[in-house]
Structure 1
Amino acid sequence: MWNDDQLTILLKIIREAGSEILSVYSDNSNFRVNYKDDDSPITKADRLANRIIVRALKKLPVNFPILSEESEKPPYRERESWTDYWLVDPLDGTKEFIKRNGEFTVNIAHIRNGVPEMGAVHVPVSGVTYLGKKGSGAWMVDQDDITKEIQARKMENSPSSIKVLTSRSHSNDSLDNLVKDISKEIGDTEVVTMGSSLKICLLAEGKADLYPRQTPTCEWDTAAAHAVLAGSGGEIFDANFRVLKYNQKSSLLNPNFFAVADPNFDWGKLL
């Protein structure tokens, strides 16, 4: 069990947002989809969850700025001076929410100097929450408050099998070719498709080895789960195998990346 008041507070906030999302999810009369300027979908659940999270974070003793997918984005000339801030995706996997497959999450991360210091990822349908803090560990808490510490698994030096996670809603030829190359190199390659930041949480839970991402994501899509993965012993690297960092540029898009369970494995030889 963690010994950190902020993690406990995040658990409470993120569960409240998840409950609000479920109220919309289960009410067909409230289930309307609109589209933002970039053609990405947004629902009433996104807005309600965002309101709950932002209000709660603003009440905390720490006066950190808040950057949320569903709030106005400050310009980089303002953001670049931030040392600490909250990075929020009130409903990650809106497409999965619309499809009603349950693979959507609520994400809250505390970023310090570009690095995810702490994160919480909540799965409203299952009631499971993943929590992680840099240097402290990572945990999974179910809806009955049963808590277990989680650890990412290690790769053998010459692995005979690998489990690769890919996005349910975003794929391309480059990713397909990469998976084929991995299969040729290792042989026994299991590929599992899944929505939202759940993929990164599965790495943290020790249930998979690699999540390569070669289509666009935003920083709020990955930051909270990145904190969980790092707390469990894993990591996220960019295409040059540098640790993925946040708020380093005007654009809020992530580069292509590799989320890995074992950062000490020589992924460069495989990828």
Structure 2
Amino acid sequence: MDLGALHPRLPSPLVECPDDRFTRRGLRLLLKRDDLIHPRLPGNKWRKLVPNLEAAGAAGHRTLLTFGGAYSNHLRATAAAGRLLGLDTIGVVRGAELADRPLNPSLARAAADGMRLHFVERGTYRRRAEPAYLAELHDRFGDFYAVPEGGSNAAAVRGCAGLGRELRGAAGVAAVACGTGGTLAGLAAGLGPGQRAIGFPVLRGGFLGGEAERLQREAFGARRGDWTTDDRFHCGGYARTTPELDDFAADFGARHGLAPDRIYVAKMLLGLTTLAQEGAFPPGTTLAAVVTG
């Protein structure tokens, strides 16, 4: 499979972001603009998808099947990759009721890029990693290469380690929003000595730390790097928001000309700003906030 059509911009830009909420505490804020890697496969989606695309090509697959919710950036990115590379794509979407509703912009974009959308009940969706359910999907759709929800598996984690390597020597702390834990797992593994990563889960439940560690063990055989998670900033759960988050995102956009998305990036930036105000970082620390999309 020729991946040249994806034309990534690597390393992604690392830009200064002067912000008095940080500078008055002696902190320096940088933005790691992973959203600029590719116009259709931004940030962690590119880093996680490419290793899976390589594996699919090596095994001779021409169809990708993957999983996601109604607002999944991963579904949209997989559909875009399929269109660019001439692959068929199938998206198993959580929520059977969505089949009878107009497609939201995210799913509409995936469908426009050729993805076949298969809506399932939430109970069925919870079986997405079971071999028996994958066998049922093979019976229905034929041969395919299965990419897990969010693209997070051992191959994806090794791909995301490149993000950490790009930040070596540039920041003491790297922050990233977490949906499935794969980007945090790879980021932390790629950082150098004396650096640490913080993951800000965008879902409720407090499970992301365990999931990131599981992924690291699958990818590298052991936990890697210095990293933690902070579960206080999910704002009610995936794709949910609060007045505080809306105000913060609008203010950040006005200050810096970058409007962070409410699902991922705004929650991470709110968390990082709150930690700075709480005195969590010693003066002189450089912080790198990963803008994933």
Kindly name which structure, 1 or 2, has the bigger radius of gyration based on alpha carbons.
2
- TM-score, normalization: structure 2? 0.27
* Structure with more strand by fraction: 1
* Structure with more helix by fraction: 2
User: RCO greater where, 1 or 2, for CA within 8 Å and sep 6 or more?
Assistant: 2
